[in-house]
Every structure is written in structure tokens, then in C-alpha cells.
Amino acid sequence: MPNRIIALEEHFWTPALRDKTTGYYAVKSPVATSRLPDLGALRLKEMDEAGIDLQVISHVQPAAQIYDAATSIKLTREANDVLYEACRAHPTRFAGFASLPTPDPKESVNELERCVAKLGFKGAMISGHTNGEFIDLKKYWGIFERAEALDVPIYLHPGIPHPAAVELYLKDYPIMIGAGWGFGMETATQTVRLIYSGIFDRHPKLRIILGHLGEGIPFLLWRANWVHRFMGKDMGLKREFADYFRENFWITTSGNFSQPALMCCLMELGVERVMFSVDWPYNKNTDGVKFVENAPISPADKRKIFSENAAQVLKL
């Protein structure tokens, strides 16, 4: 076993947001609904069973991103305060990623500052688009500027795909909307848009984390970079596509326990860019740990994935 195991994409929810979440966002799994409210004994028991030392906890998508600005601000602050109290009660076992009220970009900057500087959170999580708007729009750049200044990462988590994409591509087969296809499509699209927006030239030290072994991008990285070399010359970017992904992004193992996919990620990005996550409670802690333990890599590389990389990126 490694000396320490840190998990980075582990969720909770507050009653207020749970009760307002309907439609595609409603959580239907009894396993998830029974565990998401828990910030104590049950969570710790299942962490102990798997040997997980620390969870970096975040509100399950979409948090308060889908509401009007005033509602989003209120519910986001309440959720972050709940998470802070849990972290204060279990300071060696829990840490937090802030939720942000992205319908109000300026208040999102303020909430990020509050959560990091006053509450000790390790970064923030943004889940999908904000009422149909992608996060690369200039109105949201203040969030990334503040994250760079605070030296904390932003975790880009999936959300329900853009309504137009659901209407055109997915609605005939609802199973495609969620984790099996639509979530990855949504997050990968936002990631590529961020790279082409030029934000990493403006903020070269900005750090972004992606779950689920990079939402498919490592598999497509060579091809995306090949296209960029002869079609992206007039975009004014300072680096190649693959350079941005290898230098500004980290990925986690959350909810994608495929050894061939992991090998692809390690070969494309290097072990220093891969961190451990489970995606609890949607996946089992024990399954996530066994996945990395059984990987055909060295003990030293397993230690990097299990904890050393996260300790460096999140300053844990």
C-alpha cells in the first residue's frame, strides 16, 4: 500500500440544492442519494475500508450554476459553508473545492477568494456550462485570473450538455446524455474551447484538473495537435495544442477504471499529470483503489498517482 491516498473528485450535496434539482440533473441512484448528504460517519467508514486518507470534497453537479444570479449566490455560499464545517470537524480527513455562483461572474471571483483565503479550500469546481454559456467567454476570465493569483486549480467537472446539443444529438437516446457519453463530450468541448480562447497565454500558470482520465482528450491529443499545426497558425496562440494540455492540465482516475485508458494517459502526459479519484458515491472507493493498485506500473508511480501529485498540485 502507498503511504497515503488522496481522492479528489468526491461529492456531497446540501438539502437546499437537492430539493431544487429536477429533470436531467436529478440523482436517481439510491446508493448515491443515501450517501451524498453524509459528511461524517458513513463517508469516513467507506474511506477507511478502502484505505483512503483524505477526500477533497465538492458539491455534486450542477451545484447552483443553473439558477438565477441571486439564487445561485445564496445557495453557493450556504453549500460552501456546510462543506467548511465538515472540513473543520475532520481536518485530517476532509478538504474542499469551492462551488462558484457562475451566473454572477464577479461574485464567483469573490466567493473563490473567500473560500481559499478564509475557509482554506484547495481550489474550485465548475460543472458544465452556465445556463447555456461556456466558461471560455471573456466574462468568466476573472475566475481564472483569481485562481492563478491564489495559486489554486480549477476542476472542470461534467454537466448536462448544452441544450442545443441535447436537442440535436442526444434526446432520442437519453442514456447518451449522462456519464456514458454526454458528460465527457461537454467537458472535453469546454476544455478545447478554453485552449483556443487564449486564456493560457494570458494566464500561463493557470492549472485545470479534468476527471475521468481526461474526458477522452488524451486519446485524441495527437490528432488534435496535428490539426492545430496547420489550421491553428492564424489564431495567435503561443504554443501547440498538446503543449497547453500537457503543461496546464492534470487529470484524475475518477470513474474511469480502464487499464488501457490509463496507459494511454501515462504515455501521452506522464505520470506526474495523473492523480487519484474515485467519483464517490457513484463509484466504490474500494474499486478505485484496486484499479490503481493493479495497474502495471511501478510502486513509485503508484505513489505519485495516489498522493504525491495531488499533494504538490493542491499544496496538501
Catalytic sites, residue numbers: 279
Q: Which of 303, 279, 118, 136 is nearest to 211 (CA)?
A: 279
For residue 58, give every residue at least 6 positions away whose Cβ sits within 8 Å of its Cβ, in sequence order, or none.
9, 10, 11, 12, 96, 97, 99, 125, 155, 157
Assigned C-alpha cell, 136 = 471560455
**Sheet holding 94-96: strands in order across?**
6-12, 54-59, 94-96
Q: How far apart are the C-alpha atoms of 112 and 66, rounded to whole Å?
A: 18
Residue with cell 493498485: 293
Q: How far apart are the C-alpha atoms of 228 and 223, rounded to whole Å?
A: 9
Q: Tell me if residue 184 falls in helix, strand or coil.
A: helix
Q: Residue 90 gets which letter from DSSP?
A: S
Respond yes or no on whether the N-terminal peptide bond of residue 281 is cis (omega within 30° of 0).
yes
Please give the C-alpha separations between residue 20 and each of 35, 39, 245, in angstroms, as whole numbers.
Answer: 18, 20, 36
